[in-house]
């Protein structure tokens, strides 16, 4: 059900790329059947397949995007490790999950975003979200936001 909800928003937004941040990684196979753009994915701490890496980096129009589930960087306790990683690789955007708590912050000219979780949001969170980033042809971030979704 969560995949259907996310797919509706992804298709309505006319997305070019989807990045799945782990847990329920089997959703990627289903998403491949309906989404025509590029799909990137990393495994979460609840995914036991070796098919997907634990972290990855892509470059879109000159912007470096680092993404990981977040468990390797202990994001439930601190943002220090993931911020150090971002700085060490020159990431412009960092995407992660694991906490199931939506977050969008800018720190030292890097955007950090966690969309939370549609199927299992934290009990501390009201609502369910997806993260949306719009990048223009010159590599400028036009928008980076958490969009509420209705289930």
Low-confidence ranges of the chain (pLDDT < 50): none
Residue 115 and residue 9: Cα distance in Å, rounded? 13
- For the segment 35-72, what is each residue's pLDDT rounded down to a tens digit? 889 999 999 999 887 789 999 999 999 999 999 999 99
In 3D space, the residue among 18, 8, 40, 2 whose CA is nearest the CA of residue 131 turns out to be 18
Looking at residue 30, its pLDDT comes to 86
Looking at residue 42, its pLDDT comes to 96
Q: What is the pTM of this model?
A: 0.93
Looking at residue 1, its pLDDT comes to 62
The continuous run of DSSP H or E covering 7 comes out as helix 2-12
Looking at residue 26, its pLDDT comes to 85
Domains (range + CATH), the chain: 2-149 (3.60.21.10)
């Amino acid at each position: 059900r969560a995949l259907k909800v996310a797919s509706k928003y992804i298709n309505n937004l006319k997305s070019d790329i989807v990045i799945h941040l782990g847990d329920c990684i089997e959703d990627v196979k289903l998403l491949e059947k309906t989404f025509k753009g590029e799909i990137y994915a990393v495994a979460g701490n609840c995914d036991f397949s070796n098919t997907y890496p634990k972290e990855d980096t892509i470059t879109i129009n000159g912007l470096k995007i680092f993404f990981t589930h977040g468990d390797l960087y202990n994001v439930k306790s601190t943002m220090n490790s993931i911020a150090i990683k971002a700085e060490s690789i020159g990431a412009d955007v960092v995407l992660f999950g694991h906490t199931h708590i939506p977050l969008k912050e800018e720190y030292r000219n890097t955007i950090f975003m966690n969309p939370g979780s549609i199927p299992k949001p934290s009990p501390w969170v009201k609502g369910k979200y997806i993260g949306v980033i719009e990048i223009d042809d010159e590599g400028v971030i036009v928008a980076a936001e958490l969009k509420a979704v209705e289930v």
